[in-house]
Amino acid sequence: MADPGTTIDRNEERLARLARGEALQRARSRRLQRDAKRAGGRVVRAASVVGAIALGLLLWGLIIGPIGTTVLVLAVLLGLFAAVAAAVWDGPDTTPDLSVDAPPAVLPAATDVWLDRQRRNLPALAAPQVDAISARLATLETQLAQVPAGDPVAQDLSRLLGKHLPELVERYTRIPSEQRARTIEADGRSLDATLVEGLKAVETELARASESLAASDRDAVRIQGKFLEARYKDSDSAVG
């Protein structure tokens, strides 16, 4: 006969894996939405440039006179160059400014956007850990929206997301790539491995914070459930 405690632990592990998988899926979906939005913006900018040049040529022909071959060729070349430039340009820099003073409720989404833009500067070894952090941020975004800014857990998260995580990533990216490859720590780890361990520590702390924020609600559900069970179970017995 299976040990009830073991069965409960397995069920909890299974539920935790399912919740983590859902969070990872939400994080990937948000990243795909951001990529699609950037691609759509590039297409719109390129189309706007081409349309503006075509309109300019039309007005030239109506107001000034016939368009010569030279002007037409220059306009086509300018249009191609401008369209390519508009398609490559991502628009104004909207990288969120991470700060300890930022409201805790906005930090998960801002950190997710910022971290996604840092991917290209990080080693491939760090990609799974970045995904794991993104999944935790997706969960915390909902939780922190209901927590006052003065909550101790929220303040700890502000320091982690507004200072410690950006410092870790930014200091790594400042190191020239050729120096990163040949830097070996005293314990034999590469600099890339040290970065990944730091990201793992961040992900672990985000998981702990999420558990802490949910603890009071879990306790409240247990208490309320027991109260309702006792209250209405007694009522049913009295009616019977």
Per-domain residue ranges for the chain? 4-88, 104-239
Cβ proximity of 58 and 65 under 8 Å: no
Which of 6-20, 90-104, 110-124, 208-222 has the largest mean confidence?
Answer: 110-124
pLDDT higher than threshold 60 for residue 80: yes
Listed in sequence order, the residues at least 6 apart from 144 whose beta carbon sits closer than 8 Å to its beta carbon are 104, 105, 107, 108, 154, 157, 213
Instruction: Tell me the CA end-to-end span of the chain in Å, nearest whole number.
Output: 36
Q: Which of 1-15, 71-85, 173-187, 194-208 has the highest mean pLDDT?
A: 194-208
Residue 46 to residue 56: CA distance in whole angstroms? 16
Inter-CA distances, 76 with 45, 61, 82, 225, Å: 17, 15, 10, 72
Contacts of 188 (CB under 8 A, 6+ apart): none
Rounded to an integer, what distance in angstroms lies between the CA atom of residue 65 and that of residue 136?
63
In the prediction, which pLDDT does 93 show?
53
Do the beta carbons of residue 162 and residue 107 sit within 8 Å? yes
**pLDDT at 50 exceeding the cut of 80:** no
Strand partners, 190: 184
- Residue 240 pLDDT: 47
pLDDT of residue 198: 94
Helix or strand or coil: residue 190? strand
- Residue 21 is encoded by which pair of tokens? 């998988």
Residue 210 reports pLDDT greater than 80:
yes
How many C-beta atoms surround the C-beta of residue 32 within 10 A? 10
pLDDT of residue 20: 62
Whether 112 has a pLDDT exceeding 80, the answer reads yes
Per-residue pLDDT, 156: 92
SS3 content of the chain, % helix, strand, coil (to 5): 80, 0, 15
The pLDDT score that the predictor gives to residue 172 is 93
Length reported for the chain: 240
pLDDT value at residue 70 = 77
